[in-house]
Structure formats: structure tokens, C-alpha cells
Structure 1
Amino acid sequence: MSSPPGKSPQRAANDLTTLLKAVLGEDRFPVDVEALAREMSGKQPDPITDIVGVDIPGFDGMLRANRKSPGWQILFNDQSGYPGRDRFTLAHEFGHYMLHRRPLTDLDYAGGALAASVDCRGLPLRSGSWKEAERVREGEPDTFASYLLMPIDDYRDQTTGQTMSRSLLAHLTDRYGVSLQAALLKWIEFTATRSAMVVARDGFALWGRASSSAARSGVFVRSGMPIPDGSIAGGAAPTNKERPVELPAGIWTFSRGSEPVKELTIFSENLGISVSLLQFDDAPGGADIEEDEPWDTFDQFASRDRS
């Protein structure tokens, strides 16, 4: 099973979700990506024959064509120390197989070995110098991985009517086998509330993302943005609170100024970072503000610190 040309990453992942739900029901979480990749690719003339975890500094993953016969290998770094990151990397490489591979046949090996270069190797995660085609090519497998590991309908079922808290985030990361950042980013992507997430280190934002409604009201999170001293992330109360803390206006400031906010911040001592969820009241009056440099999904995952 491979995705026909033009099928979106979301649609490709949703098709697999439908199959998993029909076969496994509620027992499908967390998704066994390796078993799924082997099963679905096994129906093709160029299946995934090997999935190998490696320990190579600076390496995340690669979809590599077999050199002697039609087929593919997935190599991924499984030594990050963070199973959620490893799972996402594996799902990303499976996404390359589903979305981007050139199907291989015996004709490609007529000379006894593969002549063409058809590998899909992950690019360096610092994406500022990428060409637009490279950004799309790497962003699509990330979107595929996000929807495969955390189907949006199920995610909504787990979160609707609940206040985002440490316990709820722990439930999500456990259910889907993903990182805290991936679970929280999923919330930002679909919520109708004015919310933003900020990943920071040493007093400055590494990256962040605002929900659609928050971005329309002028909440943009920029890399390098100073973290305010009066915030939880800034050390006002350096403890991992269970629920969001209400902060007054004058602390977090964005394009339209400052307003009250509810902040939930989780500190990772191992990575030396903080991950914050900011939740605002309904948007104030006035015209929407358009962001001049929108971030796509892969920008959000492009930090190497995927706790």
C-alpha cells in the first residue's frame, strides 16, 4: 500500500488509522509503527525489508533503498534516550515510504545492483537554509507521523471538555507513545481557543507555535524571544504545577500588547528546557493580524530537543 500521487499526508495517515481501528479497535494505541510498516509495505513489490535502530551522532533517520533487490530499509537513531522522539522518527521515515518513494522493480537492478540514487535521508534539522521543496518534502512526513500516531478524532475524544494539565499531558504521551512537545503541539494545531506553546532555554524561546485564533489576534512566538521574568517559565515559580497558573497583564507581551494569561509550564531538567502552554481569554476587539512569517508543522519539530 502506497499513497497515490496527490494524496495528502493527513489522508494517507487517516486511511491507515481507519484500517487499524477496524482491526484492533481501542487496542491500537500506541501505534506499533514497525509492525504496520512491515505489514503494509509487504503488499508491495518493493517492501520495507529491514528496520534498524542505529547509534550515529547527529543522525536521525533515513529511508534507504536496498542495493541488490527491490526493497527498502529504514534506519533511525534509537539512542536519543527519549522513546517518543524515536517513535516519531520511525513514523517520519515510514511517511517518506508512503509519500515520496519511487517504487522499485527488477528493472532498476538489471545490472546486478541499484544504479540510481533514490534514498530519502533526513536533512539537518536546522531548516533555515533549506529550499522550499526541501521544506515540503520533510514537512509532509512529519504531518503524516503526527496524524498516524495521534489521530485527530481520538485526540479530541481524550481532551474535549478538559482543562489541559500535567496529568492530561501525561495521559496523552502515554496513550500515543509520543513526546510532550508533540502531544502539546497537536493541541495547538486543532484547538479553537486562543493558545500558544513556547519551548525555551536559558531565558529565550527556542521555538513556539500559536493556535490559529491566537495568531489572528497577534500572538506570534518568535525564536529568540525573551522569556519574561514574571512568568512561570521565567522562574517566577520554578516548580511543575499540575494546572495552569493565572497571571495578570503585563507579563507576557505580544503584538497587541499584554493581557492576562493562564500558563502551564513543565521543566525538563535532563534537556534544560521549559515547555509552556499559554491560554488567553476570547480575542479582544479589532481586525485580525496576519503573521508575516508563518511556521509550518516541520518548523515546530525541527528542534533537536524533542522531550
Structure 2
Amino acid sequence: MKYNLTDLRLFIAIAECQSLTHGAQKAFLAPSSASHRIKILESSLGTALFHRQARGVQLTQAGEIFLRHARQVFAKLEQMHSDLAPYAHGVQGHVRLWANTHAIHSYLPNDLATFLSHNPQISVNLEEQASSDILAAVARGDTEIGIIAGHDDHQDVTLLPYREDRLVLITSASHPLAGTSELSFSDVVAEPFVMLHAGSAIHTFTMNAAANLGTHLNVRVQVKSFEAVCRMVASGVGIGLVPREAVKQSGSPSLAVIGVKEEWAQRDLKICLSPRTTLSPFAAALVDHLRPEGV
């Protein structure tokens, strides 16, 4: 390889400025030096990256591809520095934790705040993923700890209790269904719904529940948090299906809560571990902290 990070920064600067001269200035290089570096870069890659024009440069198709990858290189470098930065400030251990939407929005903020305040030498890399993806990642060893919802025992992982919760229907206080104590999901599947964004675990779960009834949900609005779901529903935009804990945390007096008859509404959260992987002392300490007392 006959190019380095300086060449990549120069290339990105020229591409963004659409000018070799201005790109060279942005990269703190003389135009002649910049031109020489770009020629060596193109020679090394075996293809032209720019169309030279009278008033600047334009990326070739190969240049467009190279620009995308060059930006990804620097994004990865920034992530690397971000991951390493805590160790320069006294952090001695790092734990990777994947959790589903419910856990991240409901329980983990307080639990992690308490854990990290008692363990300042530990950092936690938390990612939001669907429960099925978390199961697979833990089984592969891609993450040390997972928190999932609604899965029975899985042969490739060990499941420990974390929190008990249940999905409930919510409506505005003025909705015709308000005051109903319990309904089947089939009773409301035709109603307009307010949901978390596509790709969230509960969005996928709810859409699958509707598909099992042979129908599609009427999704009126998609938002980024359970708090936003509760606020939209309270305003009369539609109805929602959320964990009971999310309703408690919203504290909205304008919501009516309706029980769901189906067994799948019980969505207890569980800690997911690989039986083939020995936890680091830091990860083991986090698991002990997350498990309910007496379990």
C-alpha cells in the first residue's frame, strides 16, 4: 500500500471542496505536493479518482466508492479513540451489553447509573438490539451480556431473571375503549396505532402479532421512545401497546390502561449469558448488580 492517512484526509478534503487547490489548503499542503500525492494514490489503486476540469475536479465512479470507504476509515478511528479514551482516565475494565428497547427505555438507565457510580473503574458499551439478535450474539460470543424479553429457555444460552413486566394497551382518557379492563389484541387490531420506530424490538413483535391474526396494523405515527408513544396516545392520535412500566414512568393522567388477555403479553426481561464463556470480573459484577435481590 503506497498511501496513508494523510493521503486519505487530502482526498476527502479535495472531494468536499471539489478543488485540488482548496482541498490542499484545507489539508495544510502545498498544491504541488497535494497533486503529487493524489497521482501516487491513483497509481496505487490503479484507477482515476477525479475528473480534472477547468474549474475544479469531480469524483469518478471509483472516487465515489473510495470516498465512502475513506470516511468509514476515519469513523472507525474515531470510534477506536472513543473506546480507548476511558482507559486514559482510570477505567480498568470494559463490559459489552446488548439490550432490547424495553430494557433500555425502562430499567437500565437507573440500574446502570447506580452500578457505574459504585464502579467508576468500569465502562459499559450499551447497544440496542432486537431480542432475537441478542440471543444470537451472546451465543456467538459477540457480546458478554444480553437483556431480552419474551423468550423461553434457549439451548445455546443461559437465561437469568431481570425484571417482570407485561404489555398493556393504552388509550386517551376520552377514547371509547377507555374504562375497559381487559381486551384481546384482536379486539383492537383495526385501531390506529402509535408505535416505536421500525426496527425496534417491540415494533417487530407487535407487527408479528398482527400478522398472526392475518391482518396488518394501521400505524398512524412512529416515534423514538415510549414516552413519546404515551404522549401521542394521551393526545388522541391513536392507541398503543407498551410495557406497563413505561406507563408508570410517563405519569400521564390522560391515559387509560387496558389489560391484554393473550399470554404473550407477559414480557418478562431476562439476562442472557453464554454457558461457554467465562465472564470477566467486571461483567460478572454487572450481572450480580442487575439480578433481583434473592435470586
- With structure 1 as the length reference, what TM-score do the two structures score? 0.21
Larger radius of gyration between Structure 1 and Structure 2: 2
Higher strand share: 2
